[in-house]
Structure 1
Amino acid sequence: MRIQTLFLVGCCAFAACEKDVTVDLPQGEAQMVIEGTIATGKYPEVILTRSLSYFSHITVDQLKAAFVHGAVITISDGANTMQLKEFSKDTTNKVKWYYYAADTTLAGAFKGINGSSYTLRVAVADTVYQAVTTIPATGMVIDSLWSTGTSQGDNLAKLMARIADPPQSGNYVRYKTAKNGGVFRPGINSTIDDQIVNGTHFNIMLEAGHDRTQEINYDTYGYFNKGDSVRIEFSNIDKATFDFWRSLDFAYASNGNVFASPIQVRGNIQGALGYWGGYETTYRSIRIRK
Structure 2
Amino acid sequence: MTGILTGTLIIAWRDIKKWIGRRGVFVVSIITPLIWIAFFGKSMNIQGLLTTGVEGNLPPHLKSVVEEVFKQALKNTFGAEDYFTFFSAGMLAVFVLFQSMFSGVSVIFDKRLGYMDRLLITPTPRPSIFLGKVGATLVRVTVLEALLLATAIGLGMHLKPDISAWDLVAAWLIIMLLTAGLSAAYTTLSFYAENQEVIFAVGNLVNLPLMFTSSAIFPVEQMPSWLQAIAKVNPVTYASDLVRYHLVGKPLDNYAFDLAVLAAVSIGLFVLGMALSIRWMNNR
Fold shared by both chains (TM-score > 0.5):
no
What is the TM-score normalised by the length of structure 2? 0.22
> Hey, which of these two has a bigger chunk of helix by percent?
2
TM-score scaled to structure 1, two decimals? 0.22
| Structure with more strand by fraction | 1
